[in-house]
Amino acid sequence: MYIEQTIANVKKQVKEWRAQGLSVGFVPTMGYLHEGHQSLIQRAVEENDKVVVSIFVNPIQFGPKEDLESYPRDLDADCTLCEKTGAAMVFCPEVSEMYGEGFSAYVDMNGVTAELCGKSRPTHFRGVCTVVCKLFNIVTPDRAYFGEKDAQQLAVIRHMVRDLNMNVEVVGCPIVREADGLAKSSRNTYLSPEERKAALVLSRSIQAGKAMIQAGEKNGDRVLEEMCRILSEEPLAKIDYVEMVRWDSIEIHHQADVPVLVAIAVYIGTTRLIDNFILE
């Protein structure tokens, strides 16, 4: 497995693969990889000849009071997981490699970024779209793999690819959960034992909302009210948002009569966690 830190080396190697007629899959990550990331890499390995995994804690998608400096990092463990899972290359650039002196080009998205995480983190998706656009231009993958836990991010990237006519297939992959239901997240490491137990309220809320709709409830407000009730019973939980949106446009929607995304963001102590379910 190649471990590369420069854009030039990544482009050179991908060019060699292309000359051999090989397909390239891509999994962009911020590192501190867990089984959720591993499932994306496994899917990419199954569907492509070569797989590139990027590991880059992207500073421009963090707000001024967010956890950029404390975000967990373990490059050695990440590279071991990538190699074991079948990746052909890890791209782990320095910030200066990705954003050189005088960097001033950004990718802004409207509409699909207005609700959910985009409302409470107004600069977040500008940073996400910019770095993903750059990574797509560097790696030039046939397919790129994203987890459905970050469902709004997945929708935003799909819109960006469509609107900018990018030649890459965006593949969404299911949420991977702990045995007790908590969605896998690098930020779970922030939780104390008490907070870790409290965090299970997210998956309980998600399961209850999904069960209501599957049982025939179409009124989104009733579904969200029950989910909020469950979340409010946990003293350590502070709701950021609980919303139902159209899955295609991330517009607020109040009826489960079209494909919908029901998404939540909740603070457990000082740690912000997200979860969701999608009904096609």
Which residues are annotated as catalytic?
Answer: 37
What b/e sequence results for 69-97 when a residue is b if at least 16 CB atoms lie within 10 Å of its CB, and e otherwise? Answer: eebeeeeeebbebbeebebbbbbbbeeee
Q: Please give the structure tokens belonging to residue 93.
A: 């650039």
| Ramachandran category for residue 258: left, alpha or beta (phi over 0 → left; psi -120 to 50 → alpha) | beta
Torsional class of 55: left (φ above 0), alpha (ψ -120 to 50), beta (otherwise): beta
Sheet of 271-279: strand order equals 237-246, 260-268, 271-279
What count of residues does the chain have? 280
Would you call 204 exposed, middle or buried from its count of C-beta atoms within 10 A (0-12, 13-18, 19+)? middle
CB-based contacts of 253, cutoff 8 Å, min separation 6: 220, 244, 245, 246, 260
| Whole-number Å distance between alpha carbons of 38 and 81 | 7
Distances (CA, A) of 248 to 103, 140, 149, 170, 277: 32, 25, 16, 14, 14
Specify which residues 50 forms β-bridges with.
24
> Tokens for 150?
């970050």
- 211 vs 217: CA distance, rounded Å: 9
